[in-house]
Copies of this chain bind each other. A is one copy, B any other.
Amino acid sequence: MAANVQNVIMLVGDSLTQRGWEPGGFALLLAERYVRKLDVINRGLAGYQTDWAIPVCEQIFAKQHEQHQVPKVNLLTIWYGANDAAPAPNTRHVPRDRYKANLCHLIQMVKLPTSAYYSPETRIILITPPPVNTKQWGKPESPRVFETTRSYAEAVKEVGEKENVPVADIWTQIFDGAGRSEEGCKRYLIDGLHLNSDGYNIVFNAIVDIVERVYPELDTTESQYGVKMQNVFVPWDQVDLQNPRPSLLVRRKSRM
**Chain B nearest Cβ from A252, distance in angstroms:** 12
Q: Known interface pairs A36-B45, A233-B56, A244-B52. Does A62 touch B2 (Cβ–Cβ under 8 Å)? A: yes
From A22-30, A153-161, A220-228, give the one contacting chain B.
A22-30
Of the stretches A171-179, A202-210, A234-242, the one at the interface is A234-242
Q: How far is the CB of A14 from chain B (nearest CB, A)?
A: 9
Asked if A1 meets B62 with Cβ closer than 8 Å, knowing A31-B31, A32-B22, A55-B245, the reply is: yes
| Total copies of the chain | 2
- Indicate whether A4 reaches chain B with its CB closer than 8 angstroms: yes
**Residues of chain B contacted by A51 (CB below 8 angstroms):** 244
- Residues of A within 8 A of B (CB-CB), count: 60
> Interface residues, chain A, CB within 8 Å of chain B?
1-5, 8, 10, 18, 21-24, 27-28, 31-32, 35-36, 39, 41-42, 44-48, 51-52, 55-56, 59-63, 66-67, 69-73, 83, 91-92, 110, 117, 119, 122, 233, 235-237, 239, 241, 244-245, 248-249, 251
17 A-B residue pairs with CB within 8 Å? A1-B66, A1-B70, A2-B62, A3-B66, A4-B70, A23-B28, A27-B31, A39-B39, A39-B42, A45-B233, A46-B236, A51-B244, A52-B236, A52-B248, A55-B248, A55-B249, A56-B248
- 7 smallest CB-CB distances across A and B, nearest first, come from A47-B236, A21-B32, A1-B119, A55-B248, A3-B62, A1-B62, A21-B31
